[in-house]
Structure 1
């Protein structure tokens, strides 16, 4: 029989369970599977000795997500082209509630991919969910002191690679101007909005269809030229949306969603443009 406390409190804790799994795996589909596994584990257990149910559920989810991540990293060795996390719609129409903070942003998830699995788990649990190092140790099979060192190492790496998000008003202004330039196929206007060292990353997973570069494209002129060329050939529209807690675009062609764009803005210009085109990473957007 399911513990009455679990029945009562699960809806309140589910966003944290999903959020931990998503931050660790970078996959909506995998995070949903972890949520289901966590519920089944909790429903089959006597929770009478569990004092902090939220922390217990999050650590159970993290343990399972770590297994998933370890397996996924092995598969990504053979992934065709750049790999980006599955985009998560977080606006008013979002299907999946999730706790929002900087650690769920796409730029952060890209940086988290560079950590070891253990560092990623330690960072996510401590920074996003305030889980103490002793509990993290139970997930990783290490001492609290070792987990403290892992979290510190992860923070240093993240601090060296992650750029804090620009103010919301600045991002909204830049993205509105970029959208107008994109849909007018105005390469000159687009150039003015791109940082000299701007990058374009496209994740197509070798799927047929829209252009997806096998390598990251760098430089203002190259990025603008590629974006405009693809837009002209495919009659693409950009629909503003909240992606991973930040402003971005859903790409629409002939009334159908074919991709998702996320953008990093700094000092009034776009420094990183990321485009997910892999259909397998977009399935959850059509529910």
Structure 2
């Protein structure tokens, strides 16, 4: 829990979403983003801010610099990660206790693609495209020149262009398709699942070596439907609910109140084109149980 102070009471509450939002977009994990946010508060509480004209920019700059250092070391750990790596989900929506800045850049699909960027590209993209930082200030964070920072952001933008241009289903359509997928999975309806999946659909599972999960992507509607039915039979869930994570509907699957896995999906023309199943219990801990 963050200490209380004049800064916390007056300014911190309004700027905390931006600080956490910058850290989460750069790091892709809630736990590390919360650690960075705590460190930023401690630095701000101990600093003389009387000469700071833009407190939000100052706080986000500290968050970005700290996150950049954390990400460079985290990349080494992620290289030895067992199986595919998915970002730690972030509960969003009107009912969450702590509000965060939500836009397309915090979506799971975007965070997955951003994981392929270098740490410097990721910082440059987040600071410029999300927080509208000038490249001169980004250069201070990265220890380079404004021109170099501009190139980093441009390269990053080119890499994520495909995700940004992808047509996205409306919230109502996503909830309809996910609800139908839920019903078909619970009923063991192979034909129903296949009908909901695009023929070229891709399934990615993240168990992190902690629980059984596909170590490689599964391709095609038939194989994905078969895997979904088998997992339901093996794990025997007793509840599946639609929740909101990272700004979009997702499916949370439970057994005896314990969260087994979380499904996020990309949906086009009423069919699932990509299904991402997060089962690593370390990443699910903050979503909670029922």
With normalisation by structure 2, the TM-score equals 0.93
- What residue is the counterpart of 1:214 in the other structure? 215
Task: Determine which of 70, 77, 92 is the counterpart of 1:68.
Answer: 70
Q: CA separation of 1:4/1:234 partners in 2, compared to 1, >3 Å: closer, same or farther? A: closer
**Cα distance in 2, alignment partners of residues 6 and 229 from structure 1:** 50
In the alignment, what sits opposite 2:150?
148
Q: Distance in 2 between matches of 1:47 and 1:180?
A: 55
1:89 corresponds to which residue?
A: 91
Q: What TM-score do the two structures reach when normalised by structure 1? A: 0.94
Q: Assess if the C-alpha contact under 8 Å between 1:133 and 1:144 holds in 2.
A: yes
Partner SS for 2:90: coil
C-alpha displacement of 1:161 = 4.5
Q: Is this contact kept in 2: 1:3–1:47, CA < 8 A?
A: no
How far 1:5 sits from its partner (Å)? 5.2
Match of 2:243 in 1: 241
Alpha carbons 1:6, 1:42 under 8 Å: kept: no
Query: 1:165, 1:254 → 2: CA distance?
Result: 34
Aligned-partner SS, 2:61? helix
Structure 1 residues 161 and 246: alpha-carbon distance in aligned structure 2, compared to 1, 3 A threshold: closer
Is the 2:109–2:163 contact (alpha carbons within 8 Å) kept by the matching residues of 1? Answer: no
Residue 262 (structure 2) aligned to one of 244, 250, 260: 260
The answer to whether the 8 A contact 2:175-2:242 is kept is no
More deviation in 105-114 or 193-202?
Answer: 193-202
Specify which of 184, 189, 195 is matched with residue 187 of structure 2. Answer: 184
CA distances 1:97-118 after superposition (whole Å, capped 9, x unpaired): 2100000000000000011111
Distance 2:42 2:221 in 1: 50
Inter-partner Cα distance in structure 2 for 1:181 and 1:91: 26
Separation in structure 2 between the aligned mates of residue 256 and residue 280 of structure 1, nearest angstrom: 13
Listed one character per residue, the Cα deviations across residues 53-80 of structure 1 (whole Å, up to 9, x for unaligned) are: 1111111101111111111110011111
- The answer as to whether partners of 1:24 and 1:120 remain within 8 angstroms in 2 is yes
Aligned position for 1:57: 59
Structure 2: which 5+ runs fail to align? none
User: Would you say the 8 A contact 1:195–1:271 is kept in 2?
Assistant: yes
Deviation at 1:244, TM superposition (A): 0.5
Aligned pair partner of 2:205 in 185, 188, 202: 202
- 5+ long unaligned stretches in structure 1: none
What residue is the counterpart of 1:127 in the other structure?
A: 129
Equivalent position SS for 2:35: helix
1:197 shift after superposition: 1.1
The structure 2 residue matched to 1:170, chosen from 150, 173, 198, is: 173
Structure 2: distance between partners of 1:198 and 1:154 = 25
